[in-house]
Amino acid sequence: MLPKIVTTSLPGPKAKAIIERDKQVLSPSYTRSYPLVAERGQGAIVEDPDGNRFLDFAAGIAVVATGHCHPSVVKAIQEQAAKLIHMSGTDFYYENMVALAEKLASLVPGDVPRRVYFGNSGTEAVEAAIKLARYHTGRGQFVAFLGAFHGRTMGSLAMTASKSVQKKGFFPMMPGVHHVPYAYCYRCPYGKSPDTCAVECVKAIESELFRTSVPPEDVAAVFVEPVQGEGGYVVPPQKFFDELRRLVDRHGILLVADEVQSGMGRTGKMFASEHFGLEPDVMALAKGIASGMPLGAMVARAELMDWKPGAHASTFGGNPVAVAASLATIELLEQELVANAARLGEYLMDKLRDLPQRFPIVGDVRGLGLMIGIELVRDQATKERAPDLRDRLVQMCFERGLLLLGAGPNAIRICPPLVITRDQADFAAQTIEDCLRLLI
Ligand SMILES: Cc1ncc(COP(=O)(O)O)c(C=O)c1O
């Protein structure tokens, strides 16, 4: 199915009325890029209350991995809701939470026993990782990367370094977090290229940070997104992860992979870490894990989970309905959708790869599977960022029925449900191209 805009302008009258009501009562801290009101969704298609159909290449911010309202997920939710909606897995037992923990423990790369902590969101998975790292190591310092997004609660916000507006007005942060440059090769802060660099970004952690201000024996963990999400869909080279693993191992530091956005099949493998042979000590998961039901998970090597009863818990974490949705989601991912993400990701990338050759305002196209970023610049030589062009592109695509989101100051992110078809990929690529043509 493809988009169809039936109202003379957007938003249509019914959507407009809802937006007016929203403006009166919802938090103004939300960041709506365009006026999309969703009423129903099926697969990669979302319909608004005026009957306009949109192709959703944002997937509720990379969440609805199996598409909107996949029948198997809906059925699992309905059956579980009729049986048991809540019990609190922190105080009682129920089987499906055990089954999901077993499943996640077996999926996370690395042939070691793992244990799972459940929360309700990405930020809670990250908070749990922060607390576990402190608890287990007895150390209080952390390293994270510039451009990272790890969440918005006070611990994860301290780890975040994506946009300063996310921190403005909220200081002081949790102390002890040190940000270093990410392997953002298109904009290498060391002026190197990925073919010839010596992974200066990781080496500087030791030669600069550890030497001058942060003793490595005080560092509990390095937090890293295997593909940086909100920061612009940035894919590091293999050697970044090789060097990072060597660094943390040398100092007994834990490596925490935040796969909240890159996980659950999005990159064409179950976890982006697998593309790099990365076996993290701890993994944070959420977003795509339950096709839209609120669920987060922190999966750690079993021996790291030496915290005692009462150390950490959440009333709703691992809610039976969310867990049922997650089990159904993972079954679909394993059956076909991870493979579809790989296949369609390659198909889409083939259509987008040469955009920089055809459009002077496209600086870089990068990605893995169905996690693709397109960076808009004013000038390919200077790489001057073009946030205004990016915003206009997103707006123009919306007007043509394609839902996209920005990432970083000047990139768009392509993160559709993993169920998309070739027709839908064609429509998205063609729409982006048509809009780019109008922008130059
Ligand atoms: C990599 C990453 N970590 C953590 C989070 C926070 O997740 P949530 O919004 O569910 O708290 C996000 C959200 O975008 C994310 O992309």
Could you report the per-residue pLDDT of 57-105, keeping only the tens digit for each? 999 999 999 999 999 999 999 999 999 999 999 999 999 999 999 999 9
Cα 156 to ligand 1 centre (Å) = 9
**pLDDT reported for residue 224:** 99
Ligand 1, atom 3: closest residue by C-alpha: 150
For residue 286, give the ligand 1 atom closest to its CA: 10
For residue 294, give the ligand 1 atom closest to its CA: 10
**pLDDT reported for residue 371:** 98
4: Cβ–Cβ under 8 A, 6 or more apart, which residues? 52, 53, 401
Q: Residue 371 corresponds to which tokens in the numbers above? A: 């996690």
Cα 359 to ligand 1 centre (Å) = 32
For residue 225, give the ligand 1 atom closest to its CA: 1
For residue 124, give the ligand 1 atom closest to its CA: 11
Return the domain boundaries, the chain.
88-333
**pLDDT reported for residue 415:** 98
**pLDDT reported for residue 172:** 98
What average pLDDT score do residues 237-247 get?
98
**pLDDT reported for residue 46:** 98
Task: For the chain, give the secondary structure using H, E and C.
Answer: CCCECCCCCCCCHHHHHHHHHHHHHCCCCCCCCCCCCCCEEEECEEECCCCCEEEECCHHHHCCCCCECCHHHHHHHHHHHHHCCCCCCCCCCCHHHHHHHHHHHHHCCCCCCEEEEEECCHHHHHHHHHHHHHHHHCCCEEEEECCCCCCCCHHHHHHCCCCHHHCCCCCCCCCCEEEECCCCHHHCCCCCCCCCCCCHHHHHHHHHHHHHCCCHHHEEEEEECCCECCCCCECCCHHHHHHHHHHHHHHCCEEEEECCCCCCCCCCCCCHHHHHCCCCCEEEECHHHHECECCEEEEEEHHHCCCCCCCCCCCCCCCHHHHHHHHHHHHHHHHHHHHHHHHHHHHHHHHHCCHHHHCCCEEEEEEECCEEEEEEEEECCCCEECHHHHHHHHHHHHHCCEECEEECCCEEEECCCCCCCHHHHHHHHHHHHHHHHHHC
What average pLDDT score do residues 1-6 get?
96
Q: Any residues with Cβ below 6 Å from ligand 1, and which?
A: 61, 121-123, 126, 149-151, 225, 229-230, 258, 260-261, 286
Q: Do the Cβ atoms of 4 and 53 come closer than 8 Å?
A: yes
Over residues 330-364, the pLDDT tens digits come to 999 999 999 999 999 999 999 999 999 999 999 99
Side chain identity at residue 429, one-letter code? A
Q: Do the Cβ atoms of 274 and 285 come closer than 8 Å?
A: no
Neighbours of 52 (CB within 10 A): 22
Report how far residue 178's alpha carbon sits from residue 248's, in angstroms, rounded to the nearest whole number.
15
Q: Residue 375 corresponds to which tokens in the numbers above? A: 């960076």
Ligand 1, atom 9: closest residue by C-alpha: 122
Cα 168 to ligand 1 centre (Å) = 18
**Mean pLDDT rounded to a whole number for the chain:** 98
How, if at all, do strands 405-407 and 411-414 pair?
A: antiparallel
Over residues 23-70, the pLDDT tens digits come to 999 999 999 999 999 999 999 999 999 999 999 999 999 999 999 999
pLDDT band at 284 (very low <50, low <70, confident <90, very high): very high
**pLDDT reported for residue 136:** 98
Cα 435 to ligand 1 centre (Å) = 29
Over residues 151-198, the pLDDT tens digits come to 999 999 999 999 999 999 999 999 999 999 999 999 999 999 999 999
Q: Which of 287, 293, 314, 405 to mutate to test the pocket of ligand 1 (most atoms within 8 A of CB)?
A: 287
For residue 148, give the ligand 1 atom closest to its CA: 1
**pLDDT reported for residue 407:** 97
Give the architecture-level CATH label for domain 88-333.
Answer: 3-Layer(aba) Sandwich (3.40)
Cα 95 to ligand 1 centre (Å) = 27
**pLDDT reported for residue 74:** 98
**pLDDT reported for residue 204:** 97
Q: Which of 261, 266, 298, 371 to mutate to test the pocket of ligand 1 (most atoms within 8 A of CB)?
A: 261
Q: In which residue are the tokens 């559709």 written?
A: 416
**pLDDT reported for residue 167:** 98
